[in-house]
């Protein structure tokens, strides 16, 4: 995701600076090269040696006659992106006012002026995050094209975003954006149909493929809606759906809002069951009548005949030629020249 990307990692004096070693490792694991830039306050929380160990590069702790901020983030500088994580209220306020009184603020001013992408991950106590001056500063800096990774509001703190969210935002800032302005709806994971209030029938699906596609689209500039039976993700608006019918309704609602494409990667139940109102007693044989569940793609195609749709279908016991034939057969059935089909072998 970040192969060949040079990340200047600015670290400021939030307690979240203790996470910078893990963050630097994650950036490098994704393929980036990382160089640290630390404020004096940050050095009171995380030792420069720890950052040097994590990045395999000597961090910048002071600006000298080498003009390190220009070397890093000038017009012909080393960095492809400046990531400030964590960023305190103090630092974001100074960046908004173009104040340059630390290695990080001076590097930020240089980067913004040189057109180097900047990503900021704020971390502070929640009342500070509610301060109108801090919010104004964030709005002002954001208006300059700087990307913000929203903090997690927990336990009275605006905690720094997850590594996944930060890495994804850095990838979005450094990847060409052919999908900018497009709204892509993606489905992921399994649906499940209740048999009774306790039990369900479902499919084997982790949702990893759909989430990877949603993230891939977001990184390339798309606005993404993810429909799944899972948690919130940092790269998409999530609509939750457990049953096949709920997923169809959620997708139709998302597409009706406005969509430029649908990618149906979920393993949607082909069958549904008339669920019992109370738990079915165990210990005796039961027969379930499986009724066909509504076909999501058919419903969307009927409502939106020209929408580009990518469908996924898992198959077993077929060679590649048979799989391709099946995929093309599904186009004929649905009558869509703009559809494509991916078939898991």
| 220 within 8 A of 235, measured Cβ to Cβ | no
Nearer to another protein (CB atom), residue 66 or residue 204: 204
State the CB neighbour count (10 A cutoff) for residue 127.
12
Distance of closest approach, residue 263 Cβ to another protein, in angstroms: 7
What is the contact mask toward another protein in residues 133 to 172, using x (rule: CB under 8 A)?
----------------------------------------
In sequence order, which residues have a C-beta less than 8 Å from that of residue 321 and are 6 or more positions away?
A: none
Nearer to another protein (CB atom), residue 60 or residue 259: 259
| 72 within 8 A of 108, measured Cβ to Cβ | no
Q: Is 196 annotated for ligand binding? A: no
Q: Is 270 annotated for ligand binding? A: yes
Nearer to another protein (CB atom), residue 279 or residue 344: 344
What is the contact mask toward another protein in residues 313 to 332, using x (rule: CB under 8 A)?
-------x--xx--xx----
Q: What is the Cα–Cα distance from 275 to 184, expressed in whole angstroms?
A: 33
Distance of closest approach, residue 186 Cβ to another protein, in angstroms: 9
341 binds another protein (CB under 8 A): yes
Nearer to another protein (CB atom), residue 291 or residue 315: 315
Window of 99-107, 161-169, 176-184, 281-289 that interacts with another protein by CB under 8 A: 176-184
What is the contact mask toward another protein in residues 279 to 308, using x (rule: CB under 8 A)?
-----------------------------x
Q: Is the preceding peptide bond at 86 cis, omega within 30 degrees of 0?
A: yes
| 33 within 8 A of 54, measured Cβ to Cβ | no
**What are the respective helix, strand and coil percentages of the chain, to the nearest 5?**
40, 25, 40
* Binders of another protein in range 212-241 (CB under 8 A): 212-217, 219-220, 222
In sequence order, which residues have a C-beta less than 8 Å from that of residue 37 and are 6 or more positions away?
A: 8, 9, 10, 11, 59, 60, 68, 69, 72, 103, 104, 107
Distance of closest approach, residue 296 Cβ to another protein, in angstroms: 17
Backbone torsions φ then ψ of 225, nearest 5 degrees: -110, 125
Distances, alpha carbon 162 to alpha carbons 91, 166, 297, in Å: 20, 6, 34
Window of 58-66, 116-124, 207-215, 296-304 that interacts with another protein by CB under 8 A: 207-215
Nearer to another protein (CB atom), residue 62 or residue 206: 206
Mapping DSSP to helix (H, G, I), strand (E, B) and coil, where does residue 87 land?
strand
Residues engaged in binding another protein (CB under 8 A): 1, 178-179, 182, 184, 206, 208-209, 211-217, 219-220, 222, 260-261, 263, 308, 310, 320, 323-324, 327-328, 338, 340-345
**Binding site residues, as ranges?**
270, 279, 312
């Amino acid at each position: 995701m970040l192969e060949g990307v040079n990340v200047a990692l600015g670290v400021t004096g939030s307690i979240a600076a203790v996470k910078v070693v893990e963050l630097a490792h994650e950036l490098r694991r994704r393929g980036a090269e990382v160089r640290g830039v630390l404020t004096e306050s940050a050095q009171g929380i995380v030792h420069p040696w720890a950052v040097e160990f994590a990045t395999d590069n000597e961090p910048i702790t002071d600006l000298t006659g080498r003009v390190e901020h220009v070397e890093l983030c000038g017009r012909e500088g080393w960095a492809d992106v400046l990531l400030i994580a964590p960023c305190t209220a103090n630092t974001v306020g100074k960046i908004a006012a173009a104040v340059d009184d630390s290695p990080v603020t001076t590097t930020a001013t240089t980067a913004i002026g040189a057109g180097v992408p900047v990503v900021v991950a704020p971390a502070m106590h929640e009342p500070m995050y509610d301060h109108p001056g801090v919010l104004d500063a964030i709005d002002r800096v954001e208006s300059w094209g700087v990307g913000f990774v929203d903090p997690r509001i927990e336990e009275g703190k605006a905690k720094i975003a997850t590594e996944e969210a930060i890495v994804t935002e850095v990838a979005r800032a450094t990847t060409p954006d052919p999908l900018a302005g497009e709204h892509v709806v993606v489905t992921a994971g399994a649906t499940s149909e209740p048999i009774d209030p306790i039990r369900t029938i479902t499919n084997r699906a982790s949702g990893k493929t759909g989430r990877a596609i949603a993230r891939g689209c977001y990184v390339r500039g798309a606005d993404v809606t993810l429909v799944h039976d899972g948690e919130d993700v940092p790269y998409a608006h999530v609509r939750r759906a457990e049953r096949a019918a709920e997923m169809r309704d959620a997708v139709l609602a998302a597409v009706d809002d406005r969509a430029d494409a649908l990618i149906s990667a979920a393993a949607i139940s082909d069958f549904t069951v008339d669920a019992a109102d109370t738990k079915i007693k165990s210990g005796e044989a039961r027969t379930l009548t499986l009724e066909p569940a509504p076909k999501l793609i058919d419903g969307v195609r009927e409502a939106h005949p020209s929408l580009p749709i990518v469908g996924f279908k898992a198959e077993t016991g077929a060679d590649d030629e048979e799989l391709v034939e099946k995929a093309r057969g599904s186009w004929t059935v649905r009558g869509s020249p703009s559809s494509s089909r991916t078939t898991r072998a």
